[in-house]
Structure 1
Amino acid sequence: MQWYEKLHDYFPEHEMKDPHQLVDLLEEKDDVYHIKETDNYIILYAEFTNFIFIDYLLVTPHSRSRGIGTKVLSTLKQKGKMILLEAEPDDPDYEDTRKRLAFYKKNGFKKAERIRYAPEDLEGHEYPMHVMYWSPVELEEEIIMGRMEKACKEIHNFKSKQYYGKILVDPDTALKLKH
């Protein structure tokens, strides 16, 4: 599972799922959860009837700034479904957060302004994340919220009690829609 090591080296610890949970997702939900891996990128995503949830997207360090991430996103956009993902807020101490947000914005993703998303790490500490989306049609944030709840329940929480002893991301507490 070299792909897991690459993801683990790049993403913050609190964002990484247990490798066995990811393998189970890939094996048991193979009609929904997918991995594509090349020398240039790794993407793990769930494709539902009316949206795609990107769980992890990594363009390898030697391949960055060459348009590869944009090509990966363009391939998903061709399916004509809304694309949903989580992104860390801009952190002045961690330049990659700013680069990641700029990359998604350049590729037409918007921040769901009314959705507050703050999952908890395994020690119970909240870490705020942005809910980002791209859609071929205008969508109300209530719809985006519903799809994010589905991603939490079916992807983040898939066998989570088995691997973490608890629900990994409780949508009732981690997600709030501001009015």
Structure 2
Amino acid sequence: MATLADYGPEARAEVKQVREVVATLHEQLVKWNLVVWTAGNVSQRLRTADLMVIKPSGLRYEYLTPSSMVVCDLDGNVVDGSESPSSDTASHAYIYRHMPDVYGVVHTHSTYATAWAATGQNIPCGLTMMGDEFGGPVPVGPFRLIGSEAIGEGVVETLREYPKSPAVLMQNHG
């Protein structure tokens, strides 16, 4: 199994930078009430190697640091980190493998998005700013169980139907 030492100096330098960014973005999730307890996460794909940085599983946000972030390959195998990666790692990795132009995934459980996702209906494009940002409605993807590639598959399938949207709500999830 590969370790971070197996990657070149550019990738190792980028990992350091991305760990800092991903840790800071998790602080923003809490600041803006987009997550509760440990539910939700951010990951970022590297530009210099087929690696991603993601939050460790079950670690509360207030304890996250750049060094606690986990580095995985795009199959979800841990390359560097002392913690287990998020239970959503396989889904994030699936998205990165199937959408090579995507370099970041944000998974939240904000109150309003989660409530709307429970309806199983797209958020209609009722404001010009929504049209500008999302290119139409915010789609709702299929319900999928956590802990595998299933959510990632649902996200990719949904974004193929709504290629202008940078967001997907997952039915009965968030």
- Structure 2 length-normalised TM: 0.26
Report which of the two has the higher share of strand: 1
